[in-house]
Chains A and B, each alone.
Chain A
C-alpha cells in the first residue's frame, strides 16, 4: 500500500513537473510579445522613438532573463539547422533551480515576485476551496443516502427521480453559468437582494467574520453545485448496488432496520471505490475557483490565473499550473489516508 502510494505520488509528481516544463518552454517559444505587453502596459505614456524603444526592449529582455537561450540545447537558426549546447546558462535551468529553492520567478506585468502574490491569493482561495470541499462532501453524502433510501426497484420513482434528473442536468452546466445565475438571482436589486456580491476585495482585513462568511456563501454554493453531481450520483449508484448484495439481504432477514442497514452496512462498502473521485475533488475545485473568483471578484489564485492567462503573464500562469498540480498531489495523499481509514484490511496491511 505504501509502495502503491509512493508510485502514485511519484507518477503524479513527474506528470506535474512535465506539464509545468511543457507550459514553460512552449510559452517561451511562442511568446514574441512578452516585453511588448509589459512596455505597453507601463504607465509612462510618452511617445517613444524607434531607437529608444529598441533599447528599452533590449534592457527589458535582459532584466527578465529572456536574452538567454531557452533550453540546454537549442537550434541556432532555422536555416543553418545546427544544434548547440549551452550548459546551465539557460532560462529553463534558472527557472528549475529557482523552483527548487522556492523561487517562482517574477510577473511580467508588474515585475513583482510571484511567491508573495500567490501567498496573499491563497489566503482567499484556501478557505473557499476548503469550505466548498467540506460542504460538497457532506451534501453528497446526504443526497446519496437520500437517493438510495427507498424501494429497491430498478428505476427511481417520485421525487427521487426528479432529484436525479436535476443532478444529471447540473452536471453539464459550466461553472461560470451557475455563478452568473446565482449572482443574478440573489444579488440583484431587481430580483432577490439577499446576499452581498462584491466588497471582499475592498477591505480584506477589516471585515468581521460574519460578513466574511456571508460573502463566501455564493461562491461556495456555486462550487458545491458544480462538483455535487459527480460525487452524489456515483455514491447513490454504489449504495443501491450494495443494498442488492447478499449480505444486505441477510441483514434485512435478521431484522436490521433500513436506516441502520444503509448507514452502517452499505455505506462503508459503497464509499471505498468512490474515494478516488474524492481525490480529484481538490483539483476540480481549484479549477472551479478560476471562474468563481472571476465572477464574484475575489482576489484569489483562480482569478490570478485567469487574469494572467488573459494578459499573457506566463510566469504567473506556470506558477498557477504548479499550484493546481500540487493540489492534485495533496488530494491523492488524502485519498490514500482515507482508504486506510475506511478499510481495515488496508490498515492491517500497512
Chain B
C-alpha cells in the first residue's frame, strides 16, 4: 500500500479499477431486484436489433439485441455469470491449487509415507466406489483390517514399518501433463460439447482446467519456503508436520497468488465468455456478455452490442489487470 501512495497515478487507476469491479459485482448481485424498464427474457418484438433510442417512447437505453431483448437488462444479468461462475471458479481453483501445490512442494516424492491403515482405507474406498465383486462386504472387511492395522501400528514394529511412499510429485506432474496436452480452450470445448451443462457442472469443469496454474506457482514457492530457517525453527520447536505445513509454510507459499488471482479470474472470464460466444455448454437462454457478442456474427454492424458488451468485458479485464499490477 505504501508503494501505491508513492505513485499517485497507480493509486488512482487502482481506485477506478476497484470501483468498476464493485459496480459489476453489485449489478450482478442485484440484477433480479433492480427496477429495470424491461424485464429479463421478455422480447420486445416491435423493436428487434435497434440501436439505442433515448428520444422516442420505448426507451431502450442501450438498444435491443437480435431477439428484441433489452441490451441493458441482458448486460446486467450477464454480470451475474461473472459473479456466479467465473468468481467461484477462480476461488475454488486457487484453493485446490494452493492445497495441491503446497502439499506437493512440501512433501515432494519421498516425503509422504502413508501407513498401512491409510492404504487399506484407500483400497476400501476404491473397492466400494467401483463396486468390485463383494461390494460393501469386502469394503467393510478392508476397513476392519485398516482399523486393526491402526491399532497394531504402535504395538508391533513390523506393521508400522509397512508404510509405502506416495509419490506426490510424480502424480502431480502426470496430472499437469495430462491437462496440458491440448490448449485449455480446446479441452473445455471438448468436455463441454455435450448437452448444456448446469452451472455447477460448468463450475467444476472450469476449476478442473484452471487449478494447475496456481498449483504450479505455490509449488515453486513452497520448494523455496520449506528450506527457510523459520520452518527449521518450527520443527525444532516440536510442532507436528501437518501443523507446520498448514499454519506456517502454506501462508508464505501462497504469497504469489495475490498478484496472479486477478489475472486468472480475467482469463476465466475470457474462457466463460468464449464458451458463450461459441454457444457451447450453456443453454441459449442464459444471459451472458459472450452471447450478446455472438450476435455480431449475424449482424456485424450492430455497434451498440459491441460497444456495450465488449466495453463491459474489456473494462472488467483491464480492471483486473490493474489490480494484479497493484498487488505485485
Residues of A within 8 A of B (CB): 11-12, 14-16, 18-19, 23, 26-27, 30-33, 75, 81-83, 168-169, 171-177, 180-181, 183-184, 187-190, 197, 283-284, 286-287, 290-291, 294-295, 305-306, 308-310, 312-314, 317-318, 320-321, 324-325, 328
Contact = CB atoms under 8 A, between A and B. Distances in A.
A305 B189 contact: yes
A321 B301 contact: no
Given A15-B177, A324-B183, 4 more contacts: A83-B133, A169-B318, A176-B273, A183-B296
Given A15-B180, A312-B195, A180 B186 contact: no
B205 to A, nearest CB: 11
A169 B280 CA distance: 27
A184 B303 contact: yes
Nearest to B197: A30
A218 B13 CA distance: 32
Contact of A309 (B131, B280, B325): B280
Nearest to A183: B300
B19 to A, nearest CB: 18
Contacts of B135: 81
B31 interface: no
B186 A306 contact: no
Given A15-B181, A184-B303, A30 B194 contact: yes
A181 B132 CA distance: 56
A318 B306 CA distance: 33
Contact of B273 (A174, A189, A324, A325): A174
Contact of B183 (A174, A284, A318): A284
Given A32-B195, A174-B270, A308-B193, A12 B186 contact: no
B266 interface: yes
A31 B321 contact: no
Nearest to A326: B182
A188 B301 CA distance: 7
Interface of B: 131-133, 135, 177-178, 180-187, 189-195, 263, 266-267, 270-271, 273-274, 277-280, 290, 293, 296-297, 300-301, 303, 306, 310, 313-314, 317-318, 320-321, 325
The majority secondary structure among interface residues of chain A is helix
Contacts of B186: 286-287, 290, 305, 320-321, 324
23 contacts: A19-B178, A19-B187, A30-B194, A31-B195, A32-B195, A172-B317, A177-B273, A180-B293, A183-B296, A188-B300, A197-B300, A283-B182, A290-B189, A294-B278, A294-B297, A306-B278, A309-B189, A309-B192, A309-B280, A310-B280, A312-B195, A321-B182, A324-B182
Of the candidates A174, A181, A318, the one having the most CB atoms from chain B within 10 angstroms of its own CB is A174
A323 to B, nearest CB: 9
Of the candidates B133, B183, B186, B263, the one having the most CB atoms from chain A within 10 angstroms of its own CB is B186
Contacts of A320: 186, 190
B81 to A, nearest CB: 14
Given A15-B178, A321-B190, A324-B186, A173 B314 contact: yes
Contact of A283 (B132, B183, B192, B313): B183
B180 A177 contact: no
A172 B321 contact: yes
A177 B318 CA distance: 13
B127 to A, nearest CB: 12
B182 A328 contact: yes
Of the candidates A83, A188, A306, A312, the one having the most CB atoms from chain B within 10 angstroms of its own CB is A306
B186 to A, nearest CB: 5
B303 to A, nearest CB: 7
B183 A286 contact: yes
A200 B142 CA distance: 65
A156 B133 CA distance: 67
A82 B130 CA distance: 10
Nearest to A168: B321
Nearest to A171: B321
A18 B180 CA distance: 11
Nearest to B275: A309
A19 B308 CA distance: 38
Nearest to B278: A306
A15 to B, nearest CB: 4
B181 A18 contact: yes
B326 to A, nearest CB: 13
B181 A306 contact: no
A176 to B, nearest CB: 5
Contacts of B192: 309
A228 to B, nearest CB: 16
A306 B193 CA distance: 9
Contact of B274 (A16, A176, A317, A325): A176
A249 to B, nearest CB: 28
Contacts of A32: 195
